[in-house]
Amino acid sequence: MFAQWINRQVDQRGWSLRHAAERGGISHTAIIRVANGQQPPTYDVCMALARAFGLTPESVLRMAKLLPSAVAERRIVYEANGIDRLVELWRGLSVEDQGRMLDLLERLQAPVEPRIVGEEAATDESG
């Protein structure tokens, strides 16, 4: 996928891989190996491609899967914000209320026992 992306970028500009390597300041063999799928992309190759194509290093590193996608990064930030909010709320509780919350959380995590509801349950209790 990244190899195809490199080749598309080069083709769109009417360049050769050698020209892209020269513009990026890296050996042409390094870029050719990645563009042919012979080697996985490295940080150095991605930085060279960013220079060559005039793109941000972050965008090239994401394309190469060396950085998480922006969506994954937003999810991580959201989860961190949720944890921060939880800690903030926790600190506002009394020690007694913190104990109650721990009990509640433990009950929420416990497996639920199946129960029969209806007439059969009534006969079990009376018998």
Whole-angstrom Cα distance, residue 121 to residue 91?
43
Q: What percent of the chain has pLDDT over 70?
A: 83
pLDDT in tens, 58-94: 899 999 999 877 665 566 555 666 777 777 888 888 9
The token pair at 107 is 């009950």
Q: Which helix (H) or strand (E) holds 106?
A: helix 95-109
Q: Residue 2: name the closest of 54, 85, 59 by CA.
A: 59
Whole-number pLDDT of residue 110: 77
Q: Say yes or no to pLDDT of 24 above 90.
A: yes
Whole-number pLDDT of residue 126: 53
Q: Are 62 and 79 in contact (CB under 8 A)?
A: no
Q: Are 62 and 49 in contact (CB under 8 A)?
A: no
Mean pLDDT of 14-39: 95
Whole-number pLDDT of residue 64: 95
pTM above 0.85, yes or no: no
Whole-angstrom Cα distance, residue 75 to residue 62?
15
